[in-house]
Amino acid sequence: MNDRELIKSAMRLARELDLGRSEHYADVIFRLVQRFEELEELTPDKEPTSIVWEPKKGDEYFYVATTEYLNSNIWVGSDYELALLKHHNVYKTRELAEKAAKYQERYNRVLQAVLNLEPDQKVDWSNDRQIKYEVHFGYIHGLWKAGRCYTIDSGYPVLTDKKNLQPLLDYLNLKGGE
C-alpha cells in the first residue's frame, strides 16, 4: 500500500469512526492524515534520485580490472558489464576509477588478512554481547589502529577473536596506510 492509498484508507476509517463510535480515534486519524499530507507536500510521491551513475548505451565508462589497472570501454549492456555495474565497479571518469582502485586495494588488503586469520568466523551483528574488532587507519600518526564494535558495521571486515588483532595490526602497519 503506497502513501496515497494509506491516506484514503485512513480517511475512510476516520469517517466510519466519526459516525458515533469514537470521536477520539477519529480525531487522531484525521491529525495523522493531515500530517501525511503536509509531509507529502514536502516530499512528493516519487522515486528518490539515484546517486549512482549508470551508463547508457554508447557511454564510455571506466572500471578497475586489477589494483590500479584501469580499463575503459563503450557501454553496450553485456552480461559482463551488468556484472560490473551490479558489483559497483563502473565509473564515469578515469579519475574516479583511479580513486576507487586505491580504496579497493586497501579494503582488499584488510579483507584478505581477516579471512586468512579467521576463515571460519561467524559474525552475529544482532548479538551485542559478541565483541567485534575493527580496524581504522589514523592519518595523524600514519598507523592502523583497532577498536571494538558490537552492532554497527562500518564497512571493513571485523575480527571476532582478540588473539588475531595484533597480528592484523602488525601486518597492516608493515604494509602502510595507502
Tens of pLDDT, residues 49-61: 778 899 999 999 9
105-131: average pLDDT: 93
Q: Which of 2-6, 20-24, 149-153 has the highest mean pLDDT?
A: 149-153
* Per-position DSSP letters for 6-43, written without gaps between them: HHHHHHHHHHHHHTTT-HHHHHHHHHHHHHHHHHHHHS
Residue 166 makes CB contacts below 8 A (sequence gap 6+) with: none
What is the rounded distance in angstroms from the CA atom of residue 76 to the CA atom of residue 91? 15
C-alpha angle 140/145/151, rounded to 5°? 125
Q: What pLDDT, on the 0 to 100 scale, is given for residue 51? A: 84
The mean pLDDT value of the chain amounts to: 85
Which tens digit of pLDDT belongs to each residue from 76-97?
999 999 999 999 999 999 999 9
Is residue 45's pLDDT more than 60? no
Residue 173 in grid coordinates: 602497519
Q: What pLDDT, on the 0 to 100 scale, is given for residue 62? A: 95
- Listed range (1-5, 31-35, 118-122, 158-162) with the worst mean pLDDT: 1-5
Largest CA distance in the chain: 76
Is residue 167's pLDDT more than 90? yes
Is residue 164's pLDDT more than 60? yes
CA 44 to chain centroid, in Å, comes to 24
pTM of the full structure:
0.65
Domain assignments of the chain as residue spans, ordered by start: 3-42, 60-92, 107-175
105-109: average pLDDT: 90
Percent of the chain with pLDDT over 70: 83
